[in-house]
Structures are given as structure tokens and as C-alpha cells.
Amino acid sequence: MLNPTVEQALNDQIQKEFHSAYIYLSMAAYFEAENLPGSANWMHQQASEEQAHALKIFEFIHDRGGRVVLQAIDAPPATFASPLAVFQASYAHEQKVTKSIHDLYALAVKEGDYPTQIMLQWFIDEQVEEEKTASAIVAQLQMVGDSPAALFMIDRQLAARSGA
């Protein structure tokens, strides 16, 4: 049986993962409007991954005999100053998600919930990757500055991301 405090925190995390998907979809919409289809593709893939994260926790709650209660999702930002600003926002967002996963893990430890700790290890590893990927793209965009040719090249590279 799932501890009610952990169950509530897992439901909160489902909301955060769907909110992440919403944010990345909004970023995809921005890139579509800016004629950067590779970057839009990257954001679409990211949004799909976030939905998969939410569903992983959704299934886990049910596997443990708990109850999923979906929550409201706030509107994401609709405008961004530049492609660099988008990826900076993405990196900052992932750092917040990492903190949330770590807090959840600490709660599972405090409550002696071993299955939740094991399930969250996947998310802890995933956040290392998510932060690494976002910060690498931020670094590339900072390097190229305002060069349209270089931005075009980076966009081509981001077009190569495909679904996991």
C-alpha cells in the first residue's frame, strides 16, 4: 500500500511532468513561428518525453495500489526573447525539476518507502542527462551569438533528435 504522503507527492510530480510537456510544446510553437523547424522538432520530442515521465509515475501509483488524481496545469510562457533565451529557460526548468525529484526521493527515504526510492533512481539518472543536454545547447548558442548561419547549423543538428 502506498503511503498517503508519498502518494500526494507523486501526484504533484505527475502535474509537474505534464506542466513540463506543456512548456516544451509552447517552446516548439515559438520555434515553428521563428522558422526553426529543427529546434521545434527537438522541443516536440522533449514534450513527448515529459508525457512519458508523467505516465511512468501514473502507472507506478496504480501498481502500488494508490490513486492518481490529476491536477490543473498552468499556462506556459508563450513568448521568448531569442532561441538562446528558450534553451536557457529549458535548462533552468530542468534544474527545478531535478530539485523536485530529489525532494521526492528524500521524502521516500524519510517514509521508508523503498519501492518509490528504486523507481525514482531512473528519474535521478534522467535528470543528469536532461541538464547536461540543455546546458550543452545553451553553451553552443552562446558561442555562436547572433550569427544566422551558425544558428541554421545548430537548427539542422537539433532536427536529428528522434523519439526514444
Q: Which of 134, 164, 163, 137 is closest to 151 using CA atoms? A: 137
CB of 29 to ligand FEO, least distance (A): 18
Binding site for ligand FEO (CB under 6 A): 17, 20, 50, 53, 94, 97, 130
Distance from C-alpha of 100 to C-alpha of 87, rounded to nearest angstrom: 20
CB of 90 to ligand FEO, least distance (A): 9
Joined grid coordinates for residue 47: 514534450
Instruction: Fill in the DSSP letter of residue 74.
Output: P
CA angle 52, 25, 131 (to 5 degrees): 65
CB of 24 to ligand FEO, least distance (A): 8
Question: Quick one: 120 or 151, whose CB is closer to ligand FEO?
Answer: 120
Question: Quick one: 7 or 17, whose CB is closer to ligand FEO?
Answer: 17
Q: Which residue is nearest to ligand FEO (CB)?
A: 53
